[in-house]
Amino acid sequence: MPYYEPTILERHHGGALSLLRLYTPELARSARPGQAVLVRCAPAGSSDPLVRRSLFLAGADPAEGSVDLLISPEERGLVWLATQPVTAQLDLYGPIGSGFALDQRTRNLLLAGTGSALPALLFMARSAAARQCAVMLLAAAPPDRLPPPYLLPSAIEYQTAHTSAELLTLLSATTYDTPTTLSSTPIMWADQIFLALTSDLVPATSAAVRNGRLRWKPGFASALLAGPMPCGFGSCLACTVETRDGPRLRCKDGPIFDLRNLG
């Protein structure tokens, strides 16, 4: 797995979120939406905390040579990371995972998610918009942890909720072309759906997609499952996911799985 020592170009804080823009040209060229990096979150010469934090990339700009990390510093490792100054050098491995697979025929892309994998959908939204896809992003988080709209192209439709239950309601809500003309639900509108979920949300999300599309082909709905990936190599077996094909590992086999194989 490639190793990098990127420099912090920019640091922004908003609500409970921190955005770090890192200068790392090689990673910026290779990164794909849905991939993560393993970041060392301890001062030089210290091994506390010992375990690297897995963070999903929130964006990449190959022309600038930069990648973005959007973090919610809820524990001491991420608190340390969020306080590092501009010009500080970090220590990370990556990218981990295969990334989302956007079909060349997709014109309408639905993104929906919550939890620590939500930043990956920002990266995917920008990438899809650059390919002239119509993109709808549904995001659920406490108000101070919702990604700010300025991180998204203006053409993207961005709807927010504060709980996972509200997110499921948005997925199934009927939209309208005009106040009097029925259109469809987001699930019916979409050519593909990319999700960022915690494992406990898989059954309800699968049911919502199934209610919106009684049948769906492989690749229609893909779920990025948030969760620990301590080693990134598959040796610690701490990121096991149960699928219909048996146990799989987030870091080696995922972290993106076809929703049909999860629930």
Residue 171: per-residue pLDDT: 92
State the average pLDDT over residues 195-205: 95
d(CA 189, CA 91): 42
Task: Please measure the distance between the N-terminal and C-terminal CA atoms of the chain and give it in whole angstroms.
Answer: 31
Compute and round to an integer the Cα radius of gyration of the chain: 18
d(CA 224, CA 213): 20
Ordered DSSP codes for 156-177: SEEEEESSHHHHHHHHH---EE
Is the pLDDT reported for residue 249 higher than 70? yes
- CA nearest 99: which of 136, 78, 75, 127? 127
Indicate the pLDDT class of residue 184, thresholds 50, 70 and 90.
Answer: confident
State the average pLDDT over residues 82-98: 95
Q: Is 178 helix (H, G, I), strand (E, B) or coil?
A: strand
Question: How many Å separate Cα 221 from the centre of its chain?
Answer: 14
Distances (CA, A) of 155 to 36, 81, 98, 136, 175: 26, 32, 27, 9, 17
| pLDDT tens, residue by residue, 111-157 | 999 999 999 999 999 999 999 999 999 999 999 999 999 999 999 99
Residue 228: per-residue pLDDT: 81
Indicate the pLDDT class of residue 255, thresholds 50, 70 and 90.
Answer: very high
Domains 3-96 and 108-261 share a fold: no
Give the side-chain half-sphere CA count within 13 A for 197: 28
Bridge partners, 135 (sequence order): 109
Distances (CA, A) of 242 to 42, 120, 142, 207, 215: 32, 22, 28, 18, 22
**Four-CA torsion 179, 180, 182, 187, nearest 10 degrees:** 10
Residue 1: per-residue pLDDT: 81
Read off the tokens for 112. Answer: 């929906």
Which CATH number is 3-96's, of 3.10.450.50, 2.40.30.10, 3.40.50.720, 2.30.60.10?
2.40.30.10
More confident residue, 33 or 226: 33
Residue 147: per-residue pLDDT: 95
| pLDDT tens, residue by residue, 58-89 | 999 999 999 999 999 989 999 999 999 999 99
Is the pLDDT reported for residue 182 higher than 80? no
Domain boundaries, the chain: 3-96, 108-261
More confident residue, 226 or 21: 21
210 contacts 188 by C-beta, under 8 angstroms: no
State the average pLDDT over residues 225-251: 87
Is the pLDDT reported for residue 179 higher than 80? no
Read off the tokens for 114. Answer: 């919550």
> In sequence order, which ranges of the chain are alpha helices (DSSP H)?
25-30, 76-82, 119-130, 164-172, 186-189, 202-212, 250-253
- CA nearest 113: which of 32, 193, 38? 193
pTM: 0.93
- The CATH fold of domain 108-261: Rossmann fold (3.40.50)
Taking the CB of residue 93, how many other CB atoms lie within 10 A of it?
19
d(CA 33, CA 252): 16
Residue 206: per-residue pLDDT: 95
